[in-house]
Amino acid sequence: MGTEDASDVKKISRLALSRLKREREQRGWTQSELAERIGTTQINVSRWENGVTTPSPYYRQRLGELFGKSIQELGLIPESSEERTA
């Protein structure tokens, strides 16, 4: 199961890279502005957008609420995990 989890993280990272950045840029926000709105740092936002790390479940929820989209729409939950976390 350990390699499956690592694979899931990679899936989240690739999707989050394009979707999070696109949502942020569509609103004309900088990484710092997004970070302030959800209570994190600009460094974390940069890492999420570049696929270095993934947001914790707390920040996934905050991002979904802020953008008015589900975490699935934002690419923050891997397709293979949807059933396990439901």
For residue 2, pLDDT over 80 is answered with no
Q: Provide the mean pLDDT of the chain.
A: 80
Which one-letter amino acid corresponds to residue 55? Answer: P
Whether 81 and 49 have beta carbons less than 8 Å apart is answered as: no
52-72 pLDDT per residue, tens: 888 999 999 999 999 999 988
In the numeric block, the tokens 């999707």 are attached to 15
What pTM, to 2 d.p., does this model score?
Answer: 0.72
In the numeric block, the tokens 């589900």 are attached to 70
| Topology at the third CATH level for domain 2-85 | 434 Repressor (Amino-terminal Domain) (1.10.260)
For residue 30, pLDDT over 50 is answered with yes
**For the chain, domain boundaries:** 2-85
**Residue 13 pLDDT:** 56
Q: In angstroms, what CA-CA distances link 43 with 12, 49, 50, 56?
A: 18, 10, 11, 14
